Amino acid sequence: MLVSITPHDLTNSESIEKDPGIKDTNRQGLFFVCTFLVTNTLVKKTIYREIMEPPCSFHPCDEAVIATNDDASDCKRCAVRLGYWKDDYIGFFVRNQDRKAPEINRGYFARVKGVEMCVEKFLKKTDGNCQIINLGCGFDTLYFRLRDTPHQVKNFIELDFPTVTARKCYTIKRNKVLLSKIHDEDGEVKLSPTDLHGPNYHLMGVDLRNIDEVDHKLQQAEIDYTLPTIFLAECVLVYIEQNNCKNLLKWIASKFSSAVFVNYEQVNMNDRFGDVMLNNLRSRGCSLAGVDACISLETQMSRFLECGWNGSRAWDMVQVYQSIPTPERQRIERIEMLDEGELLVQLFQHYCLVVAWIGELFQDIEITVEKRMSSLNID
C-alpha cells in the first residue's frame, strides 16, 4: 500500500501513523511505504518498510533493569525542563513532569555534561570519520542532538533490550520531527517492531550478554571494525554478570582496531553510603550483578585492562563536575538551591566516569579539575 503525504500534511501533522486499514495478516511479509513530498517543486522520497518479526524475549529478572530506563529518562526530562541543559527531543519520549530533588537534577547535569565532553573530544580528534555505539541506550537523545550541531558521524548505533527499543522505535515512527532527523532526501528507513535502520542511524534490540547476537546486529548496522569507534554506557555494565561483561569487553578489544569506551557508573560501593545505594536498588529487584567492578576507581580501570584494552583512566563525579567550565557551573547553580549540599558531594563521590581505549587515539585524555569545593555550593 502506498501512502502519499503532501507538504501540508507534513506541516500540520504532529505524527505519522500507519494507515489503520492495514492489517497484519502476514507478519513476515507485511510492509508499507510512505512517500514524502518535501517541497512544492521537488519530490524527495523516503521509504519506510515495516517488516513484522516475532518479538524478542528477555529474562523476567531483567524487568527491574529495564525499568531503570524510565527512571533515568524522567530525571533527565525534569532537569531539561528546568533549564540545566538543552534537549529538544527528550520530551517526545518522556511525558512525566514530576519534579526531582535539586541534588538529583545537578547530578544528572554532571552525568550528561561529562559524557558530552568525552564525545566532543572524540569527534574533534576524528573529524567525524568515526562511529558511535550507545550500549543500553534507553531513551537517550544524543543522536538527535548531534544532528543539530556541525558534528556528524559515519554511523550511530544504539543497542538495548528489545522491550526498550520497541518503545523507542514506536515513538520515533510516530513523530515527524524525529523521523526528519534520521532520513535524508533519498534515504531509506527500515522498521521492525524492535529495530530501526536509517542511512547512518541504527536502533536495535539485543541482549548484550549474547556476543553472537551483538555481532550479528552490528553487521546489520553495517559496522566498520577499522573505523575509530566510541562506546557509551551509562549505568549498564553494573547490571551485567561479571563473566558476561568480561566477554563483551574482550570481544570489543579483539574486533576494533581503534576504540574508546566511556563508562558512567557507580563507584566506592563498599562503604556505608554505597551500602544504602545497593540496598535501595536491590529492593527494586536490581541485582547489580557487576558490582564487584564498582569498588573503587582502580577496580573500574583494571576491568578494562584485564580485558585487553591498552589503557584506562577514571575520575569520580566531584572531579568531573569541577572540570565543567566555571560559567556553566555558576549558571546551573542559580537554577535551584540545594537542600543538602553534603548529600550532593556524597552522590558525586559514588559515581564515576571511566575512559578506556584501544590504539593511540585517546591515550592523552585528561580532565582538568579545579581544586575548589565551593563549586558545589557547600561553603
Look at residue 311 and tell me whether its pLDDT is greater than 70: yes
Q: Answer yes or no: is pLDDT of 313 > 90.
A: yes
Specify binding-site residues. Answer: 111, 136, 207-208, 234
Angle (nearest 5°) at CA 308 between 303 and 310: 95
- CATH value at residue 197: 3.40.50.150
Mean pLDDT across 102-119 = 97
| Average pLDDT over every residue of 140-153 | 95
Would 15 be classed as within a structural domain?
A: no
Q: Which cell numbers in the block locate residue 31?
A: 510492509
Q: Is residue 21 domain-resident?
A: no
Q: Is the pLDDT score of 43 beyond 50? A: no
Looking at residue 60, its pLDDT comes to 52
Asked if the structure places residue 288 within a domain, the reply is: yes
Average the pLDDT over each of 9-13, 346-350, 354-358 and give the range with the smallest value: 9-13
> Does residue 52 have a pLDDT over 50?
no
Region 284-294 average pLDDT: 90
Is residue 347 domain-resident?
A: yes
| Residue 47 within any structural domain of the chain | no
The number of beta carbons lying within 10 Å of the beta carbon of residue 130 is: 24
pLDDT for 186 equals 63
Is the pTM above the cut of 0.95? no
Cα 163 from Cα 137, distance rounded (Å): 12
Domain residues for 148?
57-376
Domains in the chain, number: 1
CB of 214 within 8 A of CB of 208? yes
SS3 per-residue string spanning 321-377: HHHCCHHHHHHHHCCCCCCCHHHHHHHHHCEEEEEEEECCCCCCCCCCCCCCHHHHC
Tell me if 43 is assigned to some domain. no
Q: Is residue 328 domain-resident?
A: yes
Binding residue numbers for S-adenosyl-L-methionine: 111, 136, 207-208, 234
Q: Inform me whether the pLDDT recorded for 58 exceeds 80.
A: no
pLDDT higher than 60, residue 3: no
- What percent of the chain lies above the pLDDT cut of 70? 79
Residue 326 lies in a domain: yes
Q: Does the pLDDT of residue 143 top 70, yes or no?
A: yes
